[in-house]
Amino acid sequence: MTPVNYRRLYQPSVISEIIGGILLGPTALGRWKAFSTNVFPKESLVNLNLVANFGLVLFLFMIGLELDPRMLKKNISRGVAISIAGIALPFGLGAAVSYALYSILMDSVGKFVNFLLFCGVAMAITAFPVLARILTERNLLKTTVGSISMSAAAVDDVVSWCLLALVIALTNNSSGLTALYVFLAGLAWVLFVILVVRPVYLGYLRRSGVLSGRDPTQTVLFVTFMMVLVSAFYTDAIGIHAIFGGFLIGVIIPHDGGFAVKVVEKIEDVVHIFFLPIYFTLSGLKTDFTDLKEGETWGLWVLVTF
């Protein structure tokens, strides 16, 4: 089904892209060896994943661009409160179902505490790109609800990634200080971008005249997108997803003289038409429902899903 048909069902286009990926993957067409070998060979998935994540970084950069920093500051307390609730409840539910999953899937092998923490964190992580896509399509991103939702989801995911680093460290019998390192390194980068990079960047933009209404030159755009890529590389290197680096740079981009709007206009079509469908379709390609062969497995799937 096309995205147009899904809009008639009041569903975002991301749903059709994920279902399309599932149909193209091992659940349906991918079971046909000639199709999977020639259309989506295993070697190509690495390159597709790279392209998809690059597009996702640009998309979250655009989301940061379109958010109003003044509204984010105004609603930060509510966003943090919602984020804490959004972590605590799913984490508790994930921990609750972990016992059944541990005894059935893991055959009681390994430390149960580590498995419990992993299930809790997995449930607590927000589908940040999906939320951003839905809010964008529904024109809710610039509203108070959209601003609070995005700020809460950002805090939620950063904390969850730090917790995931802790779980991995405990599983590998490493020090729990790994999670503290991830958190402090991420916090240091946020402060560095806001207190150092932003003033220098604003001064550069003023000298170039783009904040007075002049169209951004290729040099200005090059500097801007290099900042996005460097920030994404750093956050990915410390253990937080690269999309948060792109999102952070988008938040500090000034709106004076329509600069932010002009930057969005340069990339929005290629991101929405080319990159995002690849990312969400790739998510479907990685899903294989044929692995759910027994009634017990389907029951666990329903338990985890609902």
pLDDT tens digit sequence for 173-213: 656 677 778 888 988 999 999 999 999 999 999 999 999 88
CA distance 162 to 235: 12
Q: Please check whether residue 128 is in contact with residue 153, taking contact to mean a CB–CB distance below 8 angstroms.
A: yes
pLDDT over threshold 80, residue 90:
yes
CB atoms within 10 A of CB 86: 21
Q: How far is CA 129 from the centre of its chain?
A: 4
Length of the chain: 306
Closest CA to 259 of 191, 197, 200, 204: 204
pLDDT over threshold 90, residue 228:
yes
pLDDT over threshold 60, residue 6:
no
Q: How far is CA 229 from the centre of its chain?
A: 15
As a whole number of Å, the CA-based R_g of the chain is 21
pLDDT in tens, 257-273: 889 889 998 998 899 88
CB atoms within 10 A of CB 181: 15
pLDDT in tens, 96-117: 888 878 877 766 666 788 888 8
Q: What is the model's pLDDT at position 1?
A: 47
Helix or strand holding residue 258 (H, E): none
10 Å CB burial of residue 160 (0-12, 13-18, 19+) is buried
**Mean pLDDT within 239-261:** 89
CA distance 194 to 236: 19
